[in-house]
Structure 1
Amino acid sequence: MKLTIASVLLAFNLASYSSAGTILPRWGKTLELNSCRGDASGAAYFMTNEPTGNYIIASDIGSDGKLNPRKAVYTGGLGGHANNGGGGDGLVSQGSIVVSSASNMLAVVNAGSNTISVFSFDPSNPTDLRLVGAPISSGGEFPTSVSFSKDGDMLCSLNGGEINGVGCFKVNSTLIAPMTQTQRSLGLNQTTPATGPPGSASQIFVAPDGKNVVVSVKGMSTSAPGYLAVWDIINGTLSKDFNTVPAPSGGQTLFGIAPIQGQQALILADPAIGYDIMDFSGQNRSTAVQVDGQMAICWITYSSKTGNYYMIDAGASRITEVNVDNNLKGNTVNNYSTGNNTGPLDTAIATIGGKDYIYTLAARQTEVNVMSLDGPGQAQIVQKLDIAGPASFVGLPINATNVQGMATFSKP
């Protein structure tokens, strides 16, 4: 059920409006979207990514998996939009907003001001975000993706602009500071803002074992396919150069990344074909897999409850559920429509009451699509949450071509 404007309670200081009715951002400024707080089982987050001021929209997750928008929190930075024809997916990336459940922290990119912002939160009230210090330089231009280490004390960022590459930071609830010898270049021939999708950087990923930082890069064509750039983590520093791991034969546009459970392998969304499985065990099981009817599979997430991967297709407005067996063979389990012309983008899964729910940003309709994963092949829509109404009620700009990111937190 959509949240109507009438159900939203106004709790906003009118002094934060300019004469034109737009918001004057301030560091740490919080807009109350709904003062009614229930017994939340977790939280979901995405960002407005507006060039006039980037805000995080934080929503409670109820015991039924549904969302209750609570707050819009200013990041202290500006959003940005890639040179991609002016359509949705302004950052042409996955992981623009991420959460560490180990350290109870959230990180977000500010592509328009070349910074990243880090917030801490109390797990008992995860929509109450507290800015750690001030936004910090990303070390390059047009940051598009961030990733925490497994224990949450290291954060790495990906810059996709003319000055592109990676950098890592030491983080805790009171500090964010650059780590020495972690600023490394990708050497892409890019612009600021980034131009793509072809030839642009996609996602940064800190391996759970703490041994590598991985970046996916989209290819330009079948003759110039995408690749993974892999740096070794050595005593808190990154190797000077990265190893290049090309896409498997038939793969081209490496986008969102997910580790394959129990394997030395990754699965990546690939809008040129469907998805790619990349094997690092030495058994030569890497493969590119065609998904019938796919148009733009770009984002991917994993459900521990169903054991399957969920891939978001912005072009076909659908979610494709995929199973990967012990021999790294992938097969489609089911497809689910998110609704005509919804333009789904970023996605994340939360475990609530022993069941997984998937939260997908339906950008074109300025909604969040919530589906319960009742079992393998058994996903169903339980909520289509309007986000434009609550935002406009407090004067917060929401633009279907700018909104980006999705991350979740589940209470232990």
Structure 2
Amino acid sequence: MRLVILYSAFVLLLTIPINGQTLYPTTSGSVGAVYTMSNAASMNQILIHSLNSTGQLTLTNSVNTNGTGVNTTAGDPLFSQGALGVYSNYLFAVNPGSNSLSMFMLSSSDATQVTLISVQPAYGVFPVSVAVNNMYACVLTGGSMTGIRCYTYNSSGLFIVTSFDRNLTSILSQSVPPSGPRQTFSEILFSADNMALIISIKGFNATSPGSLLFYTFNSDKTVLAANPIQTIPTGGILPFSMTLVGMNGLLITDPGAAGVLTMTYSSTSGTISNIMLTSVNTTLASALCWSTYSPNVGNYYVIGAGTATIVELALNLTSTSNPVQIIQYYQLPSNTGALEATVVSLAGTDYLYVIGTTAHVITGYQLKAAGQAMANGMVTSQLGDTTSIPKLAGIAAFVNTKSSKSLATSVFVSTKIMIVLVVVSLFML
């Protein structure tokens, strides 16, 4: 009986099929990893946290970006969303201090194994956000010279597409580091159909509001429009994070307007419509800046920096009168702070992770169902005296997509031995 139980344990180490998704734990039990970056001015680093099958994080190691962060201890040093991006098994990180983009390869069998493969210059000064799809990685800069640059990429690294370079300095120029959050660039994002790049820009006040830029692609996505289509969302002031809603919708946080903007858009014409501002209770949640989506719950989660709050939203953009329903407010642990967030799906259950820049932590929540986000642990990402170092920036995740070869070999050999032992044992009965 002991031999049979031992054999089962080895098999479970190799794969855990649950609810249609197979998890591949390493020998240490990690099924993936969550990443943030130190943003240090001497050497920017990716801080790697192993992720287990129940959503808990453990700080594991770090890897240099071969670039630098920003020499400021401001609570939100980049005023942006998307400083990190993951696509396939690649991780991309902006280096605001050295005006570059770093690209890493992630081990498909152990997400904590991160290898730097390329560093390339951005176009302009102070990169703040990166967008990635299956063809391009595109970076937005937000300093004294602003612009976008796109790269093709593969396992050999990043390759600049010079014909896609666009100078945005005439639209907005800032100090280095930027002084904000007013009048700063917020995020760069691919439209859901990948036919346009969308950029959000914060305004100054209600009479000088922020806007969205749409850069459209040609049909085979080899030519980027020379000039953007600039639109101003009605009711917006400081358009911040953008989260896609279906194939033609946007959820945009707006800390200046004390709420969220919802709208539909056309990626070919750059037009927006059905714009509505939904206000939140500013006593419970203020300065809504970041947003993410839970595919299993089907709801959206926005983060309020002023009150360190998560607001859960249900969206129905087909409604012209009530597209947003506020489901629940969740208070983050006191004295941790709040910044960007991401959602990770593990075998049918989603987990939400929020950066806390005051305490240099990542706080986790299990998203059991609508209105039922349950605290699921906290990990300290930077140890020691953190009062004089830059705040964390960016968050992304990757789940192992295949089993470890060494583990598979180990299990195979062990299984053969155990089968022999089981047969011998049965023979001796």
TM-score by length of 1: 0.84
Residue matched to 1:243: 229
**Distance in 2 separating the partners of 1:174 and 1:283:** 38
Residue matched to 2:347: 353
Count of aligned pairs between the two proteins: 362
Residue matched to 1:10: none
Residue matched to 1:90: 77
Q: Could you tell me which amino acid in structure 1 is paired with residue 302 of structure 2?
A: M
3-state SS in 2 of match to 1:112: coil
Distance 1:283 1:75, change over 3 A: closer
More helix by share: 2
Distance 1:69 1:254, change over 3 A: same
Task: Give, in angstroms, the shift of residue 300 of structure 1.
Answer: 0.2
3-state SS in 2 of match to 1:300: strand
Q: For structure 1, which runs of at least 5 residues remain unmatched after alignment? A: 1-35
Match of 2:255 among 268, 271, 276: 271
Task: Give, in angstroms, the shift of residue 213 of structure 1.
Answer: 0.6
Distance 1:339 1:266, change over 3 A: same
Identity of aligned residues (%): 29
**Distance in 1 separating the partners of 2:191 and 2:112:** 27
Residue matched to 1:184: 166
Q: Is the 8 A contact 1:318 1:336 kept in 2?
A: yes
Task: Give, in angstroms, the shift of residue 401 of structure 1.
Answer: 4.4
1:255 and 2:259 correspond: no
What RMSD, in angstroms, separates the aligned Cα atoms of the two structures? Answer: 1.9
Task: Give, in angstroms, the shift of residue 115 of structure 1.
Answer: 0.7
Per-residue CA deviation, residues 317-360 of structure 1 (Å, 9 max, x unaligned), is: 11000011142501110011112232110110000121000011
1:405 and 2:394 correspond: yes
1:160 and 2:151 correspond: no
**Distance in 2 separating the partners of 1:81 and 1:254:** 25
Task: Give, in angstroms, the shift of residue 400 of structure 1.
Answer: 6.4
1:41 and 2:31 correspond: yes
3-state SS in 2 of match to 1:92: coil
Distance 1:398 1:119, change over 3 A: farther
Residue matched to 2:308: 317
* Segment of structure 1 superposing worse, 397-406 or 208-217: 397-406
Residue matched to 1:233: 217
Q: Could you tell me which amino acid in structure 1 is paired with residue 338 of structure 2?
A: P
**Distance in 1 separating the partners of 2:259 and 2:122:** 31
**1:3-402 to 2 correspondences below 5 Å:** 38-80=28-70, 87-100=74-87, 102=88, 104-133=89-118, 135-149=119-133, 151=134, 153-186=135-168, 187=170, 188-234=172-218, 235-248=221-234, 250-261=235-246, 263-272=247-256, 273-280=258-265, 284-293=273-282, 294-328=285-319, 329-389=323-383, 392=384, 401-402=390-391
Q: For structure 2, which runs of at least 5 residues remain unmatched after alignment? A: 1-25, 402-429
Distance 1:370 1:399, change over 3 A: farther
Q: Could you tell me which amino acid in structure 2 is paired with residue 303 of structure 1?
A: S
**Distance in 1 separating the partners of 2:388 and 2:63:** 16
Task: Give, in angstroms, the shift of residue 195 of structure 1.
Answer: 2.0
Distance 1:403 1:326, change over 3 A: closer
Per-residue CA deviation, residues 270-301 of structure 1 (Å, 9 max, x unaligned), is: 11221111222679411111111232110000
Q: Is the 8 A contact 1:366 1:400 kept in 2?
A: no
TM-score by length of 2: 0.81
Q: Is the 8 A contact 1:370 1:382 kept in 2?
A: yes
**Distance in 2 separating the partners of 1:121 and 1:176:** 15
Task: Give, in angstroms, the shift of residue 81 of structure 1.
Answer: 5.1
**Distance in 2 separating the partners of 1:340 and 1:288:** 29
Q: Is the 8 A contact 1:48 1:398 kept in 2?
A: no
Task: Give, in angstroms, the shift of residue 222 of structure 1.
Answer: 0.5
Task: Give, in angstroms, the shift of residue 207 of structure 1.
Answer: 1.9
Distance 1:300 1:399, change over 3 A: farther
Q: Could you tell me which amino acid in structure 1 is paired with residue 225 of structure 2?
A: S
Task: Give, in angstroms, the shift of residue 399 of structure 1.
Answer: 5.5
**Distance in 2 separating the partners of 1:165 and 1:184:** 5
Task: Give, in angstroms, the shift of residue 52 of structure 1.
Answer: 1.1
Distance 1:398 1:42, change over 3 A: farther
Runs of 4+ in 1 over 4 A off after TM superposition: 396-401
Q: Could you tell me which amino acid in structure 1 is paired with residue 104 of structure 2?
A: F
3-state SS in 1 of match to 2:358: helix
Q: Is the 8 A contact 1:81 1:91 kept in 2?
A: no
